[in-house]
Amino acid sequence: MRFLSPAAFAFLAAIPVVVVFYLLKRKRIVRLVSSTLLWQKFLAETQANAPFQRLRHNWLLILQILLLLLAVLAIARPYFAGQVQPTQIKVIVLDASASMQATDEKPSRFEKARTEAMKLVDGLRDGEQAMLVVAGARTEVRQSRTSDKTALRRALDAAAVSDSPTRLADALKTAGAFTYEKRGAEQQDVTSGEIHLFSDGATPPLGELENKNLPLVYHRIGQGANNVGIVSLDVRANPEDPAQRAIFTSVYNASAETKQVDLELLFEDTLIDARPLTLSPTNTQPLVFVAPQQKDGVFTVRLNIQDDLKADNQASIVSLMPKPVKVLLVSRGNRFLEKALRGPPNVQLSIAPALTDTAAGFDLVVLDDIYPSVWPIVNTLAIHTANTNWFGGWSTVQGPPIVDWKNTHPLLRFVNFDNVLIKETLSVKAPAWGISLVESPQTPLIVAGERDRQRIVWVGFDTLQSTWPLRVSFPIFIANALDWLNPANVNAGQLLVRPGDAFRMGLPGPVASAQVTRPDGSVQPLLLEKDAYEIIYGDTLKQGVYRLKAGTNDMTFTVNLMDVLESNIRPREELPLGKYNKVTASALKRANQELWRWIAGLGLAVLLFEWWFYHRRTA
């Protein structure tokens, strides 16, 4: 046991004073009596000159000394030291992601984490400093390093939970930068502090921290996994009926029990369908709704269930009515390509032997083995041609074999390159603006990316000098390319935002004012510069439907969690830091455990007992 105020033991000098009061004789009162015959013993005592008497056994004296001892002990503030070692700095990392809204801790995991962090702040020793880092969609240093406990408590009170997934790796990297101290060029960094993470562990893999050797203490928050959540949502045209929409969604059951739930589909807050679901434990179930649509609007899927996390019980997506796609094919003649371009619905195809302008009147341009005099400014599919600004240079490779392709990219969905032979191709280095989708040992064969706000798909070889047009994958690839390059689809994809990510909207011209109506109905005005050509809105930490009005332009976008890791609210006992490293949830005491409150309460009980005992004796 240790004491925060050991100087208080000086008050023990009052104990002899209490004893002296019991040694003093009582002051005698003079009374006149007719005879002293019956008062001989009393007269013997009054004849003594000594002012003190022999100390007799007295329970009141014992109780009063005990009360004084307890009072002094309480003032000295005894405590049992926790196992946290003294450090220069303690970096508090507070998880503020969506899963911390779970109510298995009362009132929520986030409030429980905040309370535990407060205890750590209260237990800071003299000379120790702390800082607060809030981990959500973005890492925020809410309080720089300080020994001022009031400032730390104020920062903790101001922290708020969000509907976003967490990026703990970024937060722990930031915290690690404050817990290492440089010792010179020839010596390694040494730790000068500790990182205290208050979280349920719902985070993407932290393998990038495997070799960081962070001084991490993991305080696990949470009790159970009673949650069902929506983890995906997409809307597509119904291939069987262009007047209908197909809404694809997936529901995840994180609990270890089978759940019976109702899933509802709404269009602009009007219920149009509902399905009962039986969800197996720890499984995901996909579901498809088919619904008519006559105008642009918002589809919403909603779960009717009482679980511990509400942030993932609803998701929304903007669905725009299909519009004709104006495609310009610049080619000397390619029947395979022309037929593939006419295949998808709503395609208005124009064909020209050459390109003499920027094709601003089209949605996208397909260049087939043509070097135009003017390059298009719209999205472009370039086959066996390249702008000199796209690559540093190129050469020719004969008979390149296809060794790999990225079938997870939207352009290569359902596309297979088995048995595709190529006579020759342009050889380039993969540019910084794009990624290689199909590769040979010498060069990328297909590259896709965005450059100066223009989406580009580059195919390095002439399709007519290959067997690809004879394979079913060729028209599928062309359909995927039209879908990926279609500016209407690009814009629709930008209307689905993850919590914490910024929403961007280009402006056709300057606007005087803009405002955003948030999901809770509040209106937030935006400050715009006079020559602004784009609106960037970043306050998207709450999920729901946002409506942006900029001048005469109205735009609706949605923010959804849809994250399996956040919906799986089962608290993790361990945080894996790569393949061979991990951090186990700590059971260490987070602060010094002070005892003065208990001692003061015991002293009060002794005082009440002494008062009762005294009055019982004198009654």
Hey, is 286 helix, strand or coil? strand
Per-residue 3-state assignment (H helix, E strand, C coil) for 310-356: CCCCEEEEEECCCCCEEEEEEECCCHHHHHHHHCCCCEEEEEECCCC
Higher-confidence residue of 302 and 188: namely: 302
Region 472-488: mean pLDDT is 93
Residue-wise pLDDT tens digits, 39-81:
666 655 555 555 656 666 677 778 778 888 888 888 887 866 5
Percent of the chain predicted with pLDDT > 90? 58
Instruction: Please give the full DSSP string across 116-129, using - where no structure is assigned.
Output: HHHHHHHTPPTT-E
Q: What is the pLDDT of residue 81?
A: 59
Closest residue by Cα to residue 170 from 143, 192, 197, 190: 197
Rounded (to 5) percent helix, strand, coil in the chain:
25, 35, 45
Q: What is the pLDDT of residue 56?
A: 66
CA distance 426 to 496: 37
Of 76-90, 176-190, 302-316, 333-347, minimum mean pLDDT range: 176-190
Distance of CA 427 to the CA centre of its chain: 42
Answer yes or no: are the C-beta atoms of 316 and 545 closer than 8 Å: yes
Report residue 512 as tokens.
């005087």
CA angle (204, 159, 566) in 5-degree steps? 25
Of 70-84, 163-177, 395-409, 471-485, minimum mean pLDDT range: 70-84
Region 273-296: mean pLDDT is 94
Please report which residue ranges of 417-510 form alpha helices under DSSP H. 473-485, 487-494
Region 318-338: mean pLDDT is 92
Q: What is the pLDDT of residue 513?
A: 84
**Average pLDDT score over the chain:** 87
Q: pTM for this structure?
A: 0.71
Q: How confident is the model at residue 156 (pLDDT cuts 50, 70, 90)?
A: very high
Q: State the pairing for strand pair 180-181/190-191.
A: antiparallel
CA distance 323 to 229: 33
Task: Tally Cβ neighbours within 10 Å of residue 49.
Answer: 4
CA distance 383 to 338: 13
- The type of residue at 445 is L
CA distance 119 to 115: 7
C-alpha distances in angstroms, 406 versus 157, 391, 411, 461? 47, 21, 9, 18
CA distance 165 to 497: 12
Region 25-30: mean pLDDT is 65
CA distance 531 to 509: 8
Answer yes or no: are the C-beta atoms of 236 and 249 closer than 8 Å: no
Answer yes or no: are the C-beta atoms of 606 and 598 closer than 8 Å: no
Closest residue by Cα to residue 278 from 242, 250, 253: 253
Q: How confident is the model at residue 11 (pLDDT cuts 50, 70, 90)?
A: confident
CA distance 59 to 614: 9
Answer yes or no: are the C-beta atoms of 6 and 77 closer than 8 Å: no
Region 593-597: mean pLDDT is 73
Residue-wise pLDDT tens digits, 346-382:
899 999 999 989 999 999 999 999 999 899 999 999 9
Residue-wise pLDDT tens digits, 495-522:
999 999 999 887 777 788 899 999 999 9
Question: Which domains, ranges and CATH numbers included, belong to the chain?
Answer: 2-78 (no CATH), 89-223+571-591 (3.40.50.410), 233-321+562-567 (2.60.40.10), 325-491 (3.40.50.880)
Q: What is the pLDDT of residue 147?
A: 92
Hey, is 162 helix, strand or coil? coil
C-alpha distances in angstroms, 66 versus 60, 270, 598? 10, 73, 15
- The type of residue at 129 is Q
Instruction: Please give the full DSSP string across 204-273, using - where no structure is assigned.
Output: S--GGGTTT---EEEEE-------EEEEEEEEEE-TT-TTEEEEEEEEEE-SSS-EEEEEEEEETTEEEE
C-alpha distances in angstroms, 144 versus 61, 90, 115, 136? 54, 11, 20, 18
Reply yes or no on whether the pLDDT at 183 is more than 60: no
C-alpha distances in angstroms, 463 versus 335, 425, 439, 510, 571? 11, 10, 16, 44, 53
Residue-wise pLDDT tens digits, 214-241:
889 999 999 999 999 999 999 988 877 7
